[in-house]
Amino acid sequence: MKRVIFGAVLLLAGGCSSSANSTATAPLRVGTVVVEPREDINAGIYVGVIEEENSAALSFPVAGTLIRLYADEGERIRKGDLLAELDPTSALQARDAAQAALEQARDACGRLQKLYDAKSLPEIQWIEAQTRLRQAEAAYGIAEKNLGNCKLYAPFSGVIGPRRMSVGETALPGVPVLTLLETARVKVRFSVPELEIASMKADSRVRVGVPALGDSLLDAGQLEKGTVANPAAHTYDVRAALPNGDGRLLPGMVCRVTVTPAGAVEELAVPVRAVQQSGDGSRFVWRVEGDSVVRADVRTGRFVGNDVVIEQGIRPGDRIVVDGMQKIGQGSKVVLQ
């Protein structure tokens, strides 16, 4: 039915063209396209979103009052940068107390050492003194570590994501303060209908266009297909890695994903409206040669969206008319819009 309707439209358009005045002296303004071979005619087109390669919700291992935040959302930081700090007063006092206890235990152990060497100290008392020293050393180590844990450092380079706390709030162990996103490499994630997921191979060619970056095209890596469908939409999540050394790609950017089957053959396709049909049923397009147009008979193939594949009649690099052909005829002079 679609081809019958298409033929009827072409016949009507062809009738208009055949009645055109090809002897018009004034050049006619027309819209054109240059035909180029394409591999992506059979490609699937999807809407995707950029995601970080890795993310970490950073938290303090100790409780305390948040007194400083050194990084804002969206700020790029390096591994080892100081990100946040708790009030160290309590941890500092605990460390000083543990240090004093350690010094006392060392002094006591040193005094008892002389008695033990002189065999004037029972063995059990000497063992107890050594045990107290080891306990004091362990307590000091814990206090020193807790003091160091009052500062939060970046475990890897990346971009600061959402901040979960503000200065003055009480941080609890394991409760996220901020999120760090690793963006040296990112992934594009898009949803594929269940009817198409089986035909999507890992070696398919994936190209990503990002409107936020001026529609620049990027080649993605191998596809990673999800194994669990969305029960409501009946789609599967698919991901592909993207290099991001310059850091231009940010998590959340919307993009256009084109997936072309591996080994796809280049074909020629033109907008459906460019193809005309004459009274005898033959189809043709108007090809621009110099400052005029000539009729080029074509053989059409399958429809691909708003385009139709041309199997014969035109070559790569040909410029054909797609708009303004209603008044043109063989040899009509034209100017390009």
Q: Is the pLDDT reported for residue 66 higher than 70?
A: yes
Among residues 328, 251, 256, which one has the least CA distance to residue 286?
Answer: 328
Question: Which residue has 């297909």 as its token pair?
Answer: 225
Per-residue confidence band for 20, with pLDDT thresholds at 50, 70 and 90: very low
**Domains assigned to the chain:** 2-38+266-336 (2.40.420.20), 42-54+181-260 (2.40.30.170), 89-148 (1.10.287.470)
Q: Note the pLDDT of residue 24.
A: 44
Counting residues of the chain whose pLDDT is more than 90, the rounded percentage is 43
Helix (H, G, I), strand (E, B) or coil at 51: strand
Question: Which residue has 């790569």 as its token pair?
Answer: 316
Q: Note the pLDDT of residue 281.
A: 86
Among residues 39, 40, 308, 44, which one has the least CA distance to residue 195?
Answer: 44
Centre a 10 Å sphere on the Cβ of residue 135 and count the other Cβ atoms it contains: 13
What is the rounded CA–CA span in Å between residue 16 and residue 30? 15
What is the rounded CA–CA span in Å between residue 258 and residue 50? 14
Q: Note the pLDDT of residue 305.
A: 75
Contact between residue 179 and residue 72 where contact means Cβ atoms under 8 Å apart:
no
Q: Measure CA 275 to chain center.
A: 38
Q: For 37-60, b where at least 16 C-beta lie within 10 A, e where not — what string? A: ebebbebbebebebbbbebbebbb
Among residues 52, 54, 50, which one has the least CA distance to residue 190?
Answer: 50
Q: Note the pLDDT of residue 260.
A: 83
226-268: pLDDT as tens digits: 888 888 888 999 999 998 888 888 888 999 998 887 767 778 8
98-148: pLDDT as tens digits: 999 999 999 999 889 888 888 888 999 989 999 999 999 999 999 999 999
Query: Half-sphere exposure (CA, 13 Å, Cβ side) for 286?
Result: 30
153-204: pLDDT as tens digits: 999 888 898 899 999 999 999 899 999 998 888 999 999 998 888 888 888 8
Contact between residue 146 and residue 91 where contact means Cβ atoms under 8 Å apart:
yes
Q: Is the pLDDT reported for residue 14 higher than 50?
A: no
For the chain, give the number of residues. 337
Q: Measure CA 220 to chain center.
A: 9
**CA distances (Å), 81 to each of 54, 150, 163, 203, 264, in order?**
18, 14, 16, 39, 47
Q: Note the pLDDT of residue 227.
A: 86
25-37: pLDDT as tens digits: 688 898 999 998 8
Give 236's strand partners: 192
User: pTM surpassing 0.75?
Assistant: no
Query: Half-sphere exposure (CA, 13 Å, Cβ side) for 37?
Result: 9
Question: Which residue has 């796809």 as its token pair?
Answer: 264
Question: Which residue has 């063209």 as its token pair?
Answer: 17
